[in-house]
Amino acid sequence: MKKSAKPVVVILCIIAVLAAAFLLVWQFDVFGIFKEYKVVPELELKGKTEITLEGGDSFEEPGFVAKIGTQDATDKVEVDYKTVDTSKVGSYELNYSLSNTKGRNTVTKTRLIKVVDTTAPEITIKGDKTVKLQIGTAYKDAGASAADKVDGDLTKTIKVDNKVNVNEKGKYTVTYTVKDAAGNEAKAERIVIVSKQSSGSVVYLTFDDGPSYNTIKILDLLKEYDCHATFFIVGQNIPGNEDILKRMAKEGHTLAVHTYTHDYAAIYTSPEAFWEDNQKTRDLIKEVTGVEAKFMRFPGGASNTISANYCSGIMGTLTEQCKDHGYEYFDWNISSGDANADGLPAAQLYDNIMAGIHENYDSPIVLMHDTGAKDTTVTAVAKVLKVGLSEGYSFEALDETVSPIHHAVNN
Ligand code: ZN
């Protein structure tokens, strides 16, 4: 070795010794000089690491535990919430990071935010949900608007199915459908009722409890004046009177159901007993006339309290079950009064009916009875038809275009 190389070796040796000494001190840090540099922060996410959000909902941070040494470091955690766009369907990574006080030993955690769209848009129908028109008048649909939490305004993509025929009496449905980008579909409906005449001028005469000895007389009168009515039929009166039922159907009257036995103590013992009894009449009407009855009336009306003697609360249950059994039920807003006694003077019944008609109900529905003992009802009907027609009223059978009258339920 040359003499001149010696100092270099010495310097290198000193550097090596110093480096070794530093590494020893760093490694074991017996004096705690590098503690702050060496600490590894603690970061734990609270809640789920994968969160599914409905589009349009806002993301709520479930929180995290953050510590540097023993010190709370919640406010030192860096999260970029801007990476999550909850107004757009997709998967977003939300990164959390925490470094120690010297900017070292960064710990990172990730939460996956999945934004999905399972909510259908909402359709708002403009104008009335039920529109009543007189036959022959123009119908202009007021339209609808649609909004979706993710896709925003979808009004322009609404499909309208409008089959309203203003030249034909009937109950029509205008259907609005709309789909969002995720395929969720919404549907809304408007009912359009096209009637022969403006409401109030059409009177609906209804006859309960028949057929009977008087039915033919009533049918003859209706035929004479070219009017129509509704018969709420008691099934047990059908056998032997099949031809009367056939005539009702043939002449355009409405055949409706009024139970089979009309026996309060039997029909109002349970909902099951009621529907079983009622169904027998519907079946029999179908068998005799081919007509599937869509309307019914409860014996005593939906407001009756007699049923409480047999089953508490039954009317509430039955009125709710009507639609499930495919029925609309009709009470009445005008009573002829013929149920109060047999043989009441026809003039009295006539007065009751005409007074009711003149009250201008939206759908005047008149309660009368068709039994052998109600001869004066027939006489009253003759005069009601004659005078009513001369006053500009028409008499029609109940159909689906008529708004039903429902009494308050008392049991
Ligand atoms: Zn009755």
Give pLDDT tens digits for 29-40: 777 778 888 899
Q: How many residues are present in the chain?
A: 411
Q: What is the CATH number of the domain that holds 98?
A: 2.60.40.10
What is the 401 CA–ligand 1 centroid distance (Å)?
24
255: CA distance to ligand 1 center in Å?
14
* Residue 110 CA to ligand 1 centre (angstroms): 73
Whether 409 is covered by a domain: the verdict is no
Distance, CA 256 to ligand 1 centroid (Å)? Answer: 12
Same domain, 129 and 47: no
Q: Looking at residue 148, what is its pLDDT?
A: 94
Distance 96 CA to ligand 1 centre (A): 76
Label residues 333-355 b or e (16+ Cβ within 10 Å = b). Answer: bbbbbbbeeeebebeebbebbbe
The number of domains in the chain is 3
Q: DSSP character for 338?
A: T
How far, in Å, is the centroid of ligand 1 from the Cα of 209? 5
Question: How far is it, in rounded angstroms, from Cα 219 to Cα 370?
Answer: 11
pLDDT of amino acid 3: 60
Q: Ligand 1 centroid to 210 CA: how many Å? A: 9
Residues 327 and 257: beta-carbon distance below 8 Å? yes
pLDDT tens by residue, 213-241: 999 999 999 999 999 999 999 999 999 99
Q: 368 and 225 share a domain?
A: yes
- Cα 299 to averaged position of ligand 1 atoms, centre (Å): 4
Residue 25 binned pLDDT confidence (cut-offs 50, 70, 90): confident
- Determine the structural domain holding residue 148 and report its residue range: 122-195
Q: Where among 93, 116, 139 does a domain terminate?
A: 116
In-domain check, residue 257: yes
- Say whether both 152 and 207 belong to one domain: no
Is 333 part of a structural domain of the chain?
A: yes
Q: Distance from the CA of 233 to the center of ligand 1, in angstroms? A: 9
In a domain, 319, yes or no: yes
Does 28 or 73 have the greater pLDDT score? 73
Are 187 and 214 found together in one domain?
Answer: no
Ligand 1 centroid to residue 151 C-alpha, Å: 56
226 & 343 share domain: yes
What spacing in Å lies between the alpha carbon of 123 and ligand 1's midpoint?
Answer: 43
Q: Reduced to 3 states, what is the DSSP secondary structure of residue 352?
A: helix
Q: What is the CATH number of the domain that holds 228?
A: 3.20.20.370
Same domain, 103 and 135: no
Domain-embedded: residue 3: no
Query: What does the pLDDT read at residue 362?
Result: 84
**Residue 209 within a domain:** yes
Looking at the structure, tell me whether residues 104 and 159 fall in a common domain: no
